Amino acid sequence: MPFTLTPRARLVLLVLVASTLVGAVCAKVNTRGHLQLGAAEARVMVDYPAPSIVDRRSLAQDISTLQKHAELYGQLLTTRPVLDAVARRMGIPPDSISGLSRITAEVPITLTQPDSELRASQIEASLAPYRLELQPDPEYPVLLIYAAAPSAPDAQRLANDAVLGLRDYLRTLAAKQLYAPANLPVLRQLGNASASVVNHRAPIVIAALSFIVGFALTAAGLWTAIVLRRRRRDGRAPLQSDPRSRYLDDWPHTTRLLPWALAGFVTLLWLTPFNRIQLDFHTPIDLKLDRLLLPFVALIWLIALLAGERARPRLRLTGIHVAVLAFVALAFLSVTLDAHYLNQTMELDLSLKKLPLLVSYVSVFWMMSTAIRPSEVRAFMTLTLVLAVIVGLEIIWEYRSGTNVSSFLSQKLLPHPLELLGSTKVQVDSLGRRGIVGPTDVGLEAVTILTLALPIVVGRLLSATRGKPRLLYGLAVCVLLAAMLATGRKSALVAPLAVLLTMAYFRRREMISLAPLGLVIAVVASVLSPGAVHGTIAQFVRPDSSSVATTSDRTSDYDAIRPDVWSHLLLGRGYGSYDISTYRILDSEILSRTIEMGVLGLLALLAIGFSVILCARRTIARRDSPYAPLALIGAACAACFLTVATLYDELGFPHATYTFLYLAGLVAVVAGRENEVAATSPQLRERALRVRRARRRRADASPQRRGALV
Amino acid sequence: MGLGRRLRTLWTLKLGVVVAFALACLAAVWSVQKISLSPLGLTPRALEMATATTHVIVDTPDSTVLDLRQDTYSLEGLMNRAVLLGNVMASTTVQNDIARRAGVPIQLLRIQAPLTPAQAAPPADSENARHTTDILKSTDQYRLDIEANPTVPMLNIIAQTPTSASAAALANAAVTEMQLYIDGLAASQKTPAKDQIRLLTLGKARGAVINKGVDWQVAAVVFLLTFAIGCATVIYVSRVRRGWRQATLSERAAAA
Name the residue in chain A with its Cα closest to that of B171: A117
State residue A456's pLDDT score. Answer: 95
Q: Which amino acid is at A316?
A: R
Q: How far is CA A507 from the centre of its chain?
A: 32
Other CB atoms within 10 Å distance of the CB of residue A526: 17
Three-state secondary-structure class, residue A346: coil
Three-state secondary-structure class, residue B111: strand
Contact B214 A317 (CB under 8 A): no
Mean pLDDT of B189-199: 86
How many beta-carbon pairs below 8 A join chains A and B? 183
Contact A118 B67 (CB under 8 A): no
Nearest by CB to B151, from A71, A185, A563: name it. Answer: A71
Listed by start position, the domains of chain B span 3-45+213-255, 50-209
Three-state secondary-structure class, residue A308: coil
Residues 6+ apart with CB under 8 A from A56: A48
Give the C-alpha separation, A667 to A459, whole Å. Answer: 14
Give the residue among A164, A156, A123 at the shortest CA–CA distance from A38: A156
Nearest by CB to A105, from B133, B137, B150: name it. Answer: B150
Contact A116 B66 (CB under 8 A): no
> What sign for the dihedral angle of Cα A454, A457, A460, A465?
negative
Contact B70 A65 (CB under 8 A): yes
Residues on chain B touching A231 (C-beta within 8 angstroms): 4
State residue A430's pLDDT score. Answer: 63
In this predicted model, what pLDDT tens digit does every residue of B196-218 receive, in sequence order?
888 999 989 999 999 998 999 99
Chain A residues 168-187 within an 8 A CB cutoff of chain B: 170, 173-174, 177, 179, 183-185
Contact B1 A184 (CB under 8 A): no
Give the C-alpha separation, B105 to B108, whole Å. Answer: 5
Name the residue in chain B with its Cα closest to that of A556: B130
A319 touching chain B per CB within 8 A? yes
Residues on chain B touching A563 (C-beta within 8 angstroms): 49, 51, 160, 210-211
Give the C-alpha separation, A699 to A375, whole Å. Answer: 29
| Beta strand pairing call for B50-59 and B154-161 | antiparallel
**Helix-helix angle A589-621:B214-255, to 10 degrees:** 10
Does CATH number 3.30.1890 belong to domain A38-197?
A: yes
Residues on chain A touching B66 (C-beta within 8 angstroms): 170, 173-174, 177, 179, 183-185
Distances (CA, A) of A483 to A266, A450, A530: 20, 8, 11
Residues 6+ apart with CB under 8 A from A32: none
State residue A701's pLDDT score. Answer: 65
B232 touching chain A per CB within 8 A? no
In this predicted model, what pLDDT tens digit does every residue of B133-147 receive, in sequence order?
888 888 888 999 999
A566 touching chain B per CB within 8 A? yes
Give the C-alpha separation, B10 to B232, whole Å. Answer: 9
Residues on chain A touching B64 (C-beta within 8 angstroms): 72
B212 touching chain A per CB within 8 A? no
Distances (CA, A) of B178 to A23, A485, B76, B87, B88: 57, 52, 20, 11, 8
Residues on chain B touching A71 (C-beta within 8 angstroms): 151-152
Residues on chain A touching B54 (C-beta within 8 angstroms): 80
A69 touching chain B per CB within 8 A? yes
Number of H helices, E strands in chain A: 27, 8
Residues A378 and A358 sit within 8 Å (Cβ to Cβ): no
- Where residue B103 falls (left for φ over 0; alpha for ψ -120 to 50; beta otherwise) is left
Contact A105 B66 (CB under 8 A): no
Name the residue in chain B with its Cα closest to that of A319: B1
Contact B124 A227 (CB under 8 A): no
Give the C-alpha separation, A651 to A529, whole Å. Answer: 29
Q: Which residues of chain A have a pLDDT value below 50?
A: 678-679, 705-710
Residues A108 and B120 sit within 8 Å (Cβ to Cβ): yes
Give the C-alpha separation, A501 to A512, whole Å. Answer: 11
Chain A residues 184-203 within an 8 A CB cutoff of chain B: 184-185
Residues on chain A touching B1 (C-beta within 8 angstroms): 317-319, 322
Contact A118 B156 (CB under 8 A): yes
Angle CA A478–A658–A639, to nearest 5? 60
Give the C-alpha separation, A567 to A678, whole Å. Answer: 55
CA of A434 to nearest chain B CA: how many angstroms apart?
24
State residue A678's pLDDT score. Answer: 46
Residues on chain A touching B49 (C-beta within 8 angstroms): 120, 562-563, 566-567
Contact B202 A116 (CB under 8 A): no
Q: Is 70 exceeded by the pLDDT of residue B124?
A: no
- What is the dihedral angle through the alpha carbons of A647, A648, A649, A651, rounded to the nearest 10 degrees? -80
State residue A246's pLDDT score. Answer: 64
Give the residue among A104, A179, A49, A84 at the shortest CA–CA distance from B64: A179
Nearest by CB to B210, from A136, A179, A563: name it. Answer: A563
Q: At the topology level of CATH, where does B50-209 sit?
A: Bacterial polysaccharide co-polymerase-like (3.30.1890)
Burial class for A202, CB neighbours closer than 10 Å (0-12, 13-18, 19+): buried
Contact B221 A123 (CB under 8 A): no
Contact B68 A600 (CB under 8 A): no
Residues on chain B touching A185 (C-beta within 8 angstroms): 66, 68
Residues on chain B touching A591 (C-beta within 8 angstroms): 135
A139 touching chain B per CB within 8 A? no
A403 touching chain B per CB within 8 A? no
Give the residue among A135, A141, A173 at the shortest CA–CA distance from A69: A141
Q: Is 50 exceeded by the pLDDT of residue B45?
A: yes
Distances (CA, A) of B102 to A79, B136, B169, B199, B210: 22, 26, 5, 20, 20
Other CB atoms within 10 Å distance of the CB of residue A52: 13
Nearest by CB to B68, from A48, A80, A563: name it. Answer: A48
Contact A236 B139 (CB under 8 A): no
B180 touching chain A per CB within 8 A? no
Give the residue among B117, B56, B51, B128 at the shortest CA–CA distance from B90: B128
Name the residue in chain A with its Cα closest to that of B72: A65
Residues B3 and A322 sit within 8 Å (Cβ to Cβ): yes
Q: What is the phi/psi pair of residue A412, to 5°? A: -80, -40
Give the C-alpha separation, A384 to A634, whole Å. Answer: 13
Listed by start position, the domains of chain A span 8-35+202-231, 38-197, 251-342+357-673
Nearest by CB to A61, from B55, B71, B117: name it. Answer: B71
Distances (CA, A) of A494 to A385, A389, A491, B99, B228: 20, 20, 5, 44, 31
Give the C-alpha separation, A635 to A506, whole Å. Answer: 9
